[in-house]
Amino acid sequence: MAIKESTFSNHFETTTHGDIPKTWQTWLIGRPLATADAPHQTIGKRVGLAVFASDALSSTAYATQEIMIILAAAGSLAFGYAFPIAVAITFLMSIVTLSYQQTIHAYPGGGGAYIVARDNLGELPAQMAGAALLMDYILTVAVSVSSGVAQISSAFPALYPYRVQIAVAMVLLIMTINLRGVKESGITFAIPTYFFILMMFTTVFFGLFRYLTGGLGLVVNPPSMPEVSVVQAITPFLILHAFSSGTAALTGIEAISNGITAFKEPRSRNAGITLIWMAVILATLFLGITFLSGKVGSIPSETETIISQLARTVFHGQGILYLGVIAGTSIILILAANTAFADFPRLGALTAADGFLPRQLTLRGSRLVFSRGIIALAMIASILIILFQASVTKLIPLYAIGVFLSFTLSQAGMAHRWWKSGHLEPGVEKKEPGSILRHDKKWKIKMLLNGFGAVCTLIVMFVFAITKFHDGAYVVVILIPILVTIFFAIHHHYKSLAQQLSLENTRTTQRVSRHRVIMPVGGVHCGTLSALRYARTLSNDITAVHVSIDPAETEKIRTKWDVWGDGVRLVILDSPYRLFVEPLLEYVEKIETVRKPDEIITILVPQFVPRNWWSRFLHARTAETLRKVFLNKEEIVITEVPYQVK
C-alpha cells in the first residue's frame, strides 16, 4: 500500500496492491482488470466487425423469409415481388448507412441516436430514442437466438421440442462470454462470424454460377405452403406489409455508432470503415439470397428455413457444404445477440449517467464491462424467449418499430445539427455535451441527406406500425411511452434527491452535543456485553431495553443484568400480545418527543454472525427488522454490532 500526503492539507491518497482472491467468479469470467488496462481492451476493425456487425449480418438469414411469409398470403405467384422489395430495402439501407457514417465522425464519443437526439432535439426525443434502442437490443437477443435455434432444428428436427431450453442456454452462454470483456468476446466471436460470411458468399456465388449456367434447379421436397384462410389479392397494402417485414435487414446498422469508444484510435475512422464493410456485405448477401430463393422456389416455413432450402438446392443435398452453411448461419444468428450485449450496457450507462436509469448501470465490473447491464439484458431476453416460445415469426412484429424510431430521431437530429453548423461563423467552435460543433461548408447537402433519410425512415415506421399492429406491434406502440414515463420518473427522483443533498444553501453542519443510545436486549451473554462495550465509546447515556414476552425469561435477564450490566439502566417493556417491534417503536417515539435539536438517537443491536452461511437462518435477524422500521425516521441511526460465533 502506498500513501501520498499533501503538504498543505489533510488529504491522503492511498493505493492498494493486495492479492486478488480466487473465487468461482474469477474462474468463470477471468481475473479482474485494473482501470489502467481500459485502453488495452479496445478492438480493431476486423474484430469490430465481429462484435458490432453480427446483428446486421445475421438478419440476412431471416429477412428474406419474413418477406415471403407475408407474400404467401397471395399465393406462390406473389413471391416474384420479393426481389424488387429487397432492392427497395437495400436503397433505404444505403441512406441509413450514409447517415450513420456522418454520425460516427460528428460524435466520436459514441451514443448514436440517443446522443444525437439529446444534443439536437431535446430530452424527450432522446429518451424516446433510448427506450426504442434498449427495447431493440432486448428483441435482438430474443429474435437472433430464436432464429439460430430454428436453423438448428431445421437440420435436426428432433431438437424442435427443446428449442426454448436451447435458446435460453445460448443466451446465458453469450452473457458469460461478454462478462469476460469486450476484447475477449470479440476475439471469441471473430472466427464464427467470418466463417458465416465465407459460407454465405460461397452459397450465393455458387448458386449464381449454377443459375447462369442453367443447372440450379428447384427445391426438392419443399415444405407445404403456409395455410391461409382466404387467399389475398396482390395489393399495395400487401406489398407494404412485406416491405415492412423485410426491413428487419436494417436492424443492427446503428450498433457501430453506439460503440465507437470500443475501437482503437483513430476511433471514428476505424468505426466508419467497419460500417462500410458491414453495409456492403449485408447488401450483397441480402440481395443474393432473395434473388436465388425466388429462382429455386423456396417456401417460407417454420419447419425448414429459406436458408436451409437454398443451401441444399445449391449444394445438391445435405452434404458437408450444406452442414457448413447451417452451422455458420446458426452460429451467427446466436452470436448476433453479441451486438446487443456490446451496445445495450453502453447505452444503459449513458442513459444512467444522465439520470434516467439507475446509477448502478454506470459502474464497470471487474472485467471493465458494464456487467449489470449485460446481466439485465440476458434476463429480460430469456423471459421474452420463454413467453413467445422462441418463435421468430411471433417476435418479429415487436422488432423493427423501435429501430426505425431511433433511425428517424437520429437523422432528424443530424439534420438539425447541420443547420446549426451552417449558422456558425467559420472558425467558431461551439461545445455541446456530446461533441464540438464547427462550421461545415457542405452543411446544406448533409442536412438534405439526413432530412430525406428521416422522412423515409419515418414513413417506414408508420407503415410497419400499421401493417403489423394486429400482429403484436401494438405492444411496442404502448410500451415505448411507458418506458419514457419511467425514465422521467427516475430522472425526477434523482433531481429531487440532488436538491435535498445539495450544500449550496447549507451554512454549517449542526454539531451533535448529546448522544442517546438505546440497546435492545434479548438475553444477557457475551454478544450483549460486546455491544455494551461499544456503546460506552459512543455515549454515557445508554438504555438497555428488553421486550418482555415470557415473565420467567424476563426475570432471568433482570437478575443477570444486575451482575453484568455495569450500572446501565434496564427498561422492561411488557408485551401482552407477544409483539417485539411495536413496543420498541412506541418507546422510541416517546424518547423522540423529548429529544433536543442537537441530540441524536442510536439504536444499537447485538447481532450473531455464525461461521456457516446456512446457520444464519437459525437466528432472528433483529437488526434487519429494526432497520426497515426506523429507516424513515429522522435523526435515528441503526448500528449493528456483530459478534462472531464459531
Using one digit for the tens of pLDDT, what is the confidence trace for 540-593? 899 999 988 888 889 999 999 999 988 899 999 988 877 788 888 888 888 888
Question: CA-CA distance, 254 to 266, in Å (whole number)?
Answer: 19
Question: Is there a contact between 362 and 352 (Cβ–Cβ < 8 Å)?
Answer: yes
Mean pLDDT for the chain? Answer: 83
- C-alpha pair distances (Å), 240 with each of 60, 256, 461, 567: 19, 28, 11, 87
Q: Which fold has domain 43-223+230-495?
A: Amino acid/polyamine transporter I (1.20.1740)
Position 318 scores a pLDDT of: 82
pLDDT digits over 452-469, tens only?
Answer: 889 988 988 888 788 777
Three-state secondary structure call for residue 249: helix
CATH architecture label of 514-645? 3-Layer(aba) Sandwich (3.40)
505: left (phi over 0), alpha (psi -120 to 50) or beta: alpha
Q: Which residue has the cell 478492438?
A: 43
At 405, phi and psi to the nearest 5? -65, -45
For range 248-275, the mean pLDDT: 85
Domain ranges of the chain: 43-223+230-495, 514-645
Position 367 scores a pLDDT of: 64
Position 61 scores a pLDDT of: 80
Question: CA-CA distance, 364 to 387, in Å (whole number)?
Answer: 31
Q: Is the pLDDT assigned to residue 375 strictly greater than 60?
A: yes
For range 416-436, the mean pLDDT: 87
Q: Is the pLDDT assigned to residue 124 strictly greater than 90?
A: yes
| Residue that wins the pLDDT comparison between 417 and 60 | 417
Strand partners, 515: 600
For range 259-272, the mean pLDDT: 86
Of 392-406, 476-490, 611-625, the least confident: 611-625
What percentage of residues in the chain have a pLDDT greater than 90?
27
CA atoms within 13 A on the CB side of 528: 20
Q: Is the pLDDT assigned to residue 200 strictly greater than 90?
A: yes
Question: CA-CA distance, 87 to 249, in Å (whole number)?
Answer: 12
What percentage of residues in the chain have a pLDDT greater than 70?
87
Q: What pTM, to 2 d.p., does this model score? A: 0.75
Three-state secondary structure call for residue 20: coil
Sign of the CA dihedral running 611, 617, 619, 625: positive
Instruction: Kindly state the DSSP code that residue 63 receives in the 8-state scheme.
Output: H
Q: Is the pLDDT assigned to residue 523 strictly greater than 80?
A: yes
Position 316 scores a pLDDT of: 85
Question: Is there a contact between 438 and 498 (Cβ–Cβ < 8 Å)?
Answer: no
Question: CA-CA distance, 294 to 303, in Å (whole number)?
Answer: 19
Q: Is the pLDDT assigned to residue 254 strictly greater than 90?
A: no
- C-alpha pair distances (Å), 189 with each of 46, 298, 470: 11, 30, 37
Strand 12-15 and strand 2-5: pairing?
antiparallel
pLDDT band for 10, please (50, 70, 90 cuts): low
